[in-house]
């Protein structure tokens, strides 16, 4: 009977431990990225009163006679099922759909979490606001290329602190040049292009109707063009930065030889046209040094029909200087910076870690885990690779605690605790009766 009391005590202790686990789960039902736990029991060593015997001389033998000595907690497992996703609209909030963990660094070690409620600090670093740990990933260079072979480092998104420009590479001309124009008729069009420093340069393009040009025995209607730039010197200096001839067939279609992009014709000294690509180049203009740049003029969308001349520059791909205003994160973890001039550029890419045994991770508080020998070495890489999940921006993953399951477990645990308490009180009553027998 004394053994029964101690057995009941082990039941109280283990059910209390299970109740602790359930309470922690319920307390964290609204904790982002929280992973629920469960307590599993196993019996303690059993006292053998009589060993088992095999059949002998016609007797059937007997099974072992054992009395259990109680129960103990076998393991407290972490359940790594997917939590529900909740849209927040905050670009720095991240969630993982699938397996994997965000990687955080405190400067001396790495930690892992499913809680993606990140923010930017004063240095533009993406951090966990609760601990100040920095989110790890791969930074992009000035061209937007990410070196995924590098060691993951602190991710920086310097909103308002970085800028970008794009020098003009192509100018698109669209519209019509009047086929009824006579030689010497001109039209003028102006357009701004941007140099490698993002400085706007206003160009004047002058189209002049000229005589037909013979190419391989076929006559083509022709317009010459001259592209000029006038600087801000005193007096201003005008420089021709590009010139050539545009040809049209008898139906008013742009003539494209197809041998080179643009297919625009310029004239050799002897008047024989040749295929060339029209380029305009700037050097050191406005009395300050800069990197020269070239851009191509595309006339392939211009026609020559019996209609007013309305050819105009509809597009050029250069941009003035712009500062980083916001960012968004793609499913592969790519951080795309959005600049005030309309450009976007890759800033970096989120790193995720996976483990051979996620159940072997050790909780460290603050929604953090550490790797252990049981979890295996972290495999750090890009989302959507190596079995790692997909990253969503503006979303948080909720706790994976199932309240219905926890309440059911709570009832069962409470009844188990009560039953073990009754075992102790019943054993005590039996002991009392035994004492009464000797009076």
188 shares its domain with 249: yes
- Calculate the alpha carbon distances from 34 to 3, 80, 93, 338, 391 in Å: 40, 9, 15, 32, 17
Residues contacting 433, CB < 8 A, separation 6+: none
Name the one residue in this structure whose structure tokens are 């795309």: 336
∠ at Cα 336 (334, 337), nearest 5°?
Answer: 150
177 shares its domain with 311: yes
- The pLDDT of residue 86 is 93
Name the one residue in this structure whose structure tokens are 């192509």: 170
129 shares its domain with 111: yes
Choose among 83, 84, 73, 82: nearest CA to 21.
Answer: 73
Residues in the chain: 439
181 shares its domain with 159: no
Domain-terminating residue out of 289, 317, 345 = 317
118 shares its domain with 37: no
- The pLDDT of residue 239 is 83
Name the one residue in this structure whose structure tokens are 């004047």: 204
pTM of the full structure = 0.73
Domain-terminating residue out of 294, 317, 340 = 317
Domain-terminating residue out of 273, 289, 317 = 317
424 shares its domain with 379: no
Helix (H) or strand (E) holding 434: helix 403-437
Which residues form the domain of 15?
A: 2-80+400-437
215 shares its domain with 285: yes
∠ at Cα 323 (125, 194), nearest 5°?
Answer: 145
Tens digit of pLDDT at every position of the chain (439 positions): 567 788 888 888 999 999 999 999 999 999 999 999 999 999 887 777 777 787 887 777 778 877 878 888 899 999 999 999 999 989 899 999 999 999 999 999 999 999 999 999 999 999 999 999 999 999 998 888 998 888 999 999 988 878 888 888 888 889 999 999 999 999 999 988 888 888 888 889 899 998 888 777 788 888 888 888 888 888 988 888 877 888 888 899 988 653 323 334 443 333 434 433 344 544 434 433 344 567 888 888 899 999 999 998 888 888 888 999 889 988 889 999 999 888 889 999 999 999 999 999 999 999 999 999 999 999 999 999 999 999 999 999 999 999 999 999 999 999 999 988 888 888 778 777 777 776 6
Choose among 170, 166, 167, 168: nearest CA to 278.
Answer: 170
- The pLDDT of residue 415 is 94
196 shares its domain with 216: yes
106 shares its domain with 10: no
66 shares its domain with 111: no
Question: Angle of helix 403-437 relative to helix 2-27, nearest 10 degrees?
Answer: 160
CATH number of 172's domain: 2.60.98.20
Choose among 311, 229, 219, 306: nearest CA to 265.
Answer: 219
Overall number of domains in the chain = 3
140 shares its domain with 191: no
55 shares its domain with 174: no
- 438: its two tokens: 């000797």
């Amino acid at each position: 009977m004394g053994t029964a009391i101690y057995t009941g005590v082990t039941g109280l202790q283990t059910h209390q431990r299970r109740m602790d686990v359930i309470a922690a789960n319920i307390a964290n039902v609204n904790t982002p990225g929280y992973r629920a736990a469960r307590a599993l029991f196993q019996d303690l060593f059993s006292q053998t009163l009589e060993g088992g015997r095999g059949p002998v001389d016609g007797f059937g033998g007997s099974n072992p006679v054992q009395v259990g000595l109680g129960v103990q907690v076998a393991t407290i497992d972490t359940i790594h099922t997917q939590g529900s996703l909740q849209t927040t609209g905050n670009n720095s909030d991240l969630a993982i759909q699938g397996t994997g963990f965000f990687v955080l660094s405190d400067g001396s070690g790495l930690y892992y979490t499913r809680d993606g409620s990140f923010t930017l600090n004063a240095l533009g670093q993406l951090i966990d606001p609760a601990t100040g740990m920095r989110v790890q990933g791969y930074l992009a260079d000035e061209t937007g290329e990410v070196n995924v072979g590098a060691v993951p480092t602190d991710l920086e998104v310097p909103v308002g602190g970085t800028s970008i420009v794009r020098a003009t590479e192509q100018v698109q001309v669209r519209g019509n040049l009047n086929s009824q124009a006579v030689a010497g008729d001109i039209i003028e069009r102006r357009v701004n292009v941007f140099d490698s420093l993002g400085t706007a340069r206003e160009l004047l393009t002058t189209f002049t109707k000229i005589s037909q040009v013979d190419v391989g025995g076929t006559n083509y209607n022709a317009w010459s063009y001259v592209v000029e730039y006038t600087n801000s010197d005193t007096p201003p200096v005008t420089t021709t930065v590009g010139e050539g001839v545009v040809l049209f067939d008898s139906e008013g279609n742009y003539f494209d030889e197809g041998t080179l992009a643009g297919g625009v014709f310029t004239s050799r000294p002897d008047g024989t046209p040749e295929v060339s690509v029209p380029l305009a180049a700037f050097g050191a203009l406005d009395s300050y040094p800069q990197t020269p740049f070239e851009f191509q003029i595309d006339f392939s969308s211009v026609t020559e029909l019996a209609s007013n001349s309305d050819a105009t520059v509809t597009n050029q791909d250069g941009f003035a200087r712009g500062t980083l205003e916001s960012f968004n994160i793609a499913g592969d973890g790519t951080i795309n910076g959005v600049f005030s001039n309309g450009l976007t550029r890759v800033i970096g890419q989120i790193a995720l870690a996976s483990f051979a045994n996620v159940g072997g991770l050790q909780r460290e508080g603050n929604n953090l885990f550490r790797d252990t020998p049981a979890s295996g070495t972290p495999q750090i890489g890009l989302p959507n690779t190596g079995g790692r999940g997909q990253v969503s921006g503006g979303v948080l993953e909720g706790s994976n605690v199932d309240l219905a399951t926890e309440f059911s477990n709570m009832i069962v645990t409470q009844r188990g605790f009560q039953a073990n308490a009754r075992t102790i009180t019943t054993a005590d009553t039996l002991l009392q009766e035994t004492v009464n027998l000797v009076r």
